[in-house]
Structure 1
Amino acid sequence: MATVRDVERVIARLPEVTEGLRFGHRTWYVGKKSFAWVRPFSKADLKRFGDETPPDGDILAVATADLGEKEALLSAHPGPLFTIPHLDNYPALLVHLKSTPPKLLREIVEDGWLAVAPRQLAEQYLQR
């Protein structure tokens, strides 16, 4: 349901975001911290899927506040949100854009931004 264009629209509403490349992939930052990045599967990732078919289409990685939030989100939205072994013990999850409703995408990306934004900037944003 969602596309990278939808991601761009959500991110355009967030203050002080810059875009760059990290490992050759589009990455969005607030300050020097990344909060969302396009995350295609590596050969090692694909190998770990074994006989299981990996999700097709664009995949977005998004930061979470901590591992507890990551687990809660994964439990609440098991279809569009998932993780892979590469992200074990790392506060980020993956979003299968093709199966993500726009409202969920907006919430996940905004939460990712809030997870890494400077405290004062995040507080100003939440008070708008």
Structure 2
Amino acid sequence: MKDLDELALAMPQAEKQVSDDGRPTYSVHGKFFCFHRTRRPDAVDPETGERLDDVLVFRVADLGEKEIMLADDRGVFFTTPHWNGYSAVLMRIPSLGRIDREELRDLVAEAWLTRAQKRVAKAWLAEEGIEEDGRG
């Protein structure tokens, strides 16, 4: 979570809000790109049936990107019926340890790009040396 916090806040104009129970939401221009979700009835532990308390939500570019991520053999990303038709993937906090920092950085950057203003995104992509059409 420390890496997530650092990487998310490194994105231009990113802000962090923390709920009363300590759950962060990372946003840009008032729109979330990643957040720690509260317990919900659609995400339960398959062994205990209890609602999961450790789920992160990341915005993704589109539903095609979502499907690619969900097909990852590692099983890091998942979704629930609540998120059907919505460009976002879910990940449990313990799964952060199953991806390296560079992959987490890419995940955060891609999520941020879905919400950042076009001029801000374009400037960041140019600064990073990334072609706009090669971002996802």
1:11, distance to aligned residue in structure 2 (A): 1.0
TM-score (norm 2): 0.75
Task: State which drifts further: 29-38 or 64-73.
Answer: 64-73
Structure with higher helix content: 1
1:55, distance to aligned residue in structure 2 (A): 9.8
Q: Deviations over 1:49-74 (max 9, x none)?
A: 66576897732101112111111121
Residue 99 (1) aligns with residue 95 (2): yes
Q: Deviations over 1:65-117 (max 9, x none)?
A: 21111111211354211111111111111122322312222111110001111
- AA paired with 1:95? M
How high is the sequence identity, in percent, across the aligned residues?
A: 28
Match of 2:32 among 17, 28, 34: 34
Residue 10 (1) aligns with residue 7 (2): yes
Give me the CA root mean square deviation: 2.7
- Paired with 1:55 and 1:95, the residues of 2 have a C-alpha distance of 14
Higher relative contact order (CA 8 A, sep 6+): 1
TM-score (norm 1): 0.79
SS at match of 1:127: helix
Aligned length, in residue pairs: 123
Q: Which residue matches 1:61?
A: 57
